[in-house]
Structure 1
């Protein structure tokens, strides 16, 4: 019962994407549905014309009369028109349907980008992309099967039964409708029974594809750890489960089709036997038998195929249910677009007031963190690995909601601010840099798509990337590979730095922005940024303390708590955590120079 309710709900949820507000789309759908009814009329007329032809040909005084000639020509024309209209219907229908699918996928894509960071962290990318791809096919299967096959067949069936009742009495109409009703009830419950394994096989197929995508995305790790065999075994295990469930699903559906064929066969026997018997004992002639048999055979083929159609509809509904579950996921609360949301044009200040945050219960990442960053000032954040440094930038971008405390931007609560305006103000070189699988130039240009080439080249020069690009065979047009894997860590960091420089944000966030660079390159880049550091606002998160030593204030995080704060010199005098980190940094620097 729950599955039936879910199917109705899926159709209800998807229908607005079909019947959009665009008048042109609606008109095309109406024209196509009009052609469906014309096609039904022609299909019902063909057996009746054939009846008249047989009646005249079986007459004792048969001859090629004008009326018979018209009937013979009309029969061929009716068949030709029926086929032509069916093709025209397909041609007309495909445009609004594909527009609906495009709108559907666009809205899904938009929604995926509005979901909270936790959603994307908890789900495998392969599951989402595969579900989206399968939903497109599911959309088509449900639409074509339901609106262009099931519903027209039911309408045609009732009209044929009405014609039989009118000409030959209620017996024939009753038999036709009774067999159809038994067929529908059997199909409904039998496919529901069979769909259990179909649902499981669909889910397993999503998991299998997600596992394959995940493995290929981590191709380098598989090579590093020589774990190809492990990945193959894992893949084979997923494929075995998929194979078992798919075989079970298809076998069950074929059993359903066998039952459907049996029901159609019984109907054919009942109607032809009754018609034949009546033809021998009453005023029936051969033409009447031909008409009754014609309608029976006319429905035998579509009813025989209805098992496949219902299977595809079931599968399509399951696939749409998977993607609609994602579509129904609530967007991040930070992405609200209420009229009360404030927009920002420039950055004046950022303040954390007793901010506490935990990714999971009992896993505290930040505890009562407070600091104030004024415009055109620089704050450095240092600390050991896992102390919560990068979390601060994630909270500024509103990727997560804080557990307690307040974050203010320009003295306004960050929750009342438009996320879009915040993201326009902020620019970041993240710790984990991911690049698009396109050219170096396009990856940098992504920060400001309307930038001039000279601006892109200037940003690349400041990031010390020009010499690297000149060595590459395609220079700016070198494709970086999936997630930028064709480049070294240092090259990826320089692209990320160039990207944020091109954006020219109000707040620059450098999260371990130079950790993969050699000290010489880091020094040159920091020197290039010196004028910018004096006129812009910076939040620098670093392990390499040389990048924050000139900051206006340095925060020392330890286990989510700010243990120390001050300038570079004042913190050294305290002989605390920062001084220990600086000492370790100097020793590492001496060792690297000695090497």
Structure 2
């Protein structure tokens, strides 16, 4: 436990993830936990339908390539095409129902985070509030509360399904095409992850710089409006701009 905490402290992303996980799986809200479980079941159903859709399309193409006359083979091919369309509709249906089920979880997490941040702000010292960082503070709080919904959705319905897709695809490739294609797939995936991580870290540095300047601009604009009378007394409109 201590080792995991040390790793989390060394990695800010893991530390942030550990801080956000209680909002995804709240101990005092079994209804929300049930919604998370239902969302995961719908996710699994959508993935299953997606793979079934791929196999039905492959079967239809194979049957149709056998001949163009109306034969039992062609009838089977048409049936597979219809099954493909039904599976496609089922995948879209599962995805939309999943999003609807999970929506309350994300919104509740954002609401609880906003409340916790609001309580924490009021526990800060008087000196902090006398410095009048209202503009920057409101901007940071707004950005943070809006990001938790996106972050939870990204973890559950983007990263996790991608890992499942990679595992399922590797198994299918191994059964149908041999180990060489599995190794090639895993190597290319690892290279893609490495490249994506490097580019993301580079973009994060630019993003942090942009956020810093945005906070400063918002802080100056809001604080200047809050202290409008003082700015007018000293004729400092040009300086504030």
Q: Counterparts of 1:41 and 1:174 in 2: how far apart (Å)?
A: 23
Q: For residues 532-551 of structure 1, what are the structure 2 equivalents within 5 Å?
A: none
Matched residue SS, 1:115: coil
Look up the match of 2:162.
153
Q: What is the aligned partner in structure 2 of residue 42 from structure 1?
A: 49
Residue aligning to 1:216: 225
Q: Equivalents in 1 of 2:94, 2:126: separation in Å?
A: 50
Deviation at 1:225, TM superposition (A): 2.4
Q: Residue 24 of structure 2 aligns with which residue?
A: 18
Shift of 1:52: 0.5
Are residues 1:5 and 2:5 paired? no
- Cα distance in structure 2, aligned partners of 1:2 and 1:109: 25
Shift of residue 62, structure 1, vs aligned partner:
5.3
Deviation (angstroms), 1:188: 1.1
Deviation at 1:173, TM superposition (A): 2.0
1:483-511 alpha-carbon deviations (Å, 9 max, x no partner):
xxxxxxxxxxxxxxxxxxxxxxxxxxxxx
Q: Residues of 1 paired with 2:178 and 2:168: CA distance?
A: 14
1:29 lines up with 2:36 in the alignment = yes
Return the structure number with greater strand share. 1
Match of 1:187 among 193, 196, 200: 196
Deviation string, structure 1 residues 544-594 (Cα, Å, up to 9, x no partner): xxxxxxxxxxxxxxxxxxxxxxxxxxxxxxxxxxxxxxxxxxxxxxxxxxx
3-state SS of the aligned residue for 2:38? helix
1:44–1:160 contact (8 Å) kept in structure 2 = no
2:215 equivalent in structure 1: 206
- Where structure 2 has 5 or more consecutive residues not aligned to the other structure, the ranges are 1-6
Query: How many Å separate the matches in 1 of 2:136 and 2:158?
Result: 31
RMSD: 2.0
Q: Does 1:76 align with 2:85?
A: yes
Question: 1 CA distance for matches of 2:8 and 2:34?
Answer: 35
d(CA) in 1 for partners of 2:150, 2:10: 18
User: Counterparts of 1:194 and 1:129 in 2: how far apart (Å)?
Assistant: 24
- How far apart, in 2, do the equivalents of 1:45 and 1:153 lie? 17
Distance in structure 1 (CA, Å) of the matches to 2:209 and 2:8? 16
CA distances 1:161-204 after superposition (whole Å, capped 9, x unpaired) = 21011111112222222211100011112211331121122122
8 A Cα contact 2:136 2:216, kept in partner: yes
Local SS of the residue matching 1:63 = coil
Alignment of 1:118 with 2:124, yes or no, is no
Q: How far did 1:4 drift?
A: 7.0
Is residue 127–residue 207 contact of structure 1 (8 Å, CA) maintained in 2? Answer: yes
Distance 2:129 2:113 in 1: 20
Higher helix share: 2
- Note the alpha carbon deviations across 1:184-241, whole angstroms, 9 max, x for none: 0111122113311211221221121111111111112222222211211xxxxxxxxx
Q: Distance in 2 between matches of 1:199 and 1:12?
A: 21
Write out aligned runs for 1:262-277 (5 A).
Answer: none
Distance 2:38 2:132 in 1: 42
Aligned equivalent of 2:138, options 129, 135, 139: 129
Match of 2:117 in 1: 108
When residues 119 and 37 of structure 1 are mapped into structure 2, their CA distance, relative to the original with a 3 A threshold, is: same
Instruction: Give the total of aligned pairs.
Output: 232
Give the structure 2 partner of residue 52 of structure 1: 59
Determine helix, strand or coil for the equivalent of 1:226: coil
How far apart, in 2, do the equivalents of 1:79 and 1:188 lie? Answer: 32
- Determine the structure 2 residue equivalent to 1:166: 175
Query: How far apart, in 1, do the equivalents of 2:38 and 2:59 lie?
Result: 32
- String of CA shifts for 1:414-454, please: whole Å, max 9, x gaps: xxxxxxxxxxxxxxxxxxxxxxxxxxxxxxxxxxxxxxxxx
* TM-score, normalised with respect to structure 1: 0.37
The whole-number CA distance in structure 1 between the counterparts of 2:166 and 2:182 is 10
Please report how far the alpha carbon of residue 68 of structure 1 lies from its aligned counterpart in structure 2 after TM superposition: 2.6
Map residues 350-389 of structure 1 onto 2, 5 A cutoff.
none
Paired with 1:4 and 1:87, the residues of 2 have a C-alpha distance of 38
Residues 39 and 82 in structure 1, CA contact (< 8 A), matched pair in contact too: yes
Q: Conserved in 2, the CA contact under 8 Å of 1:127 and 1:209?
A: yes
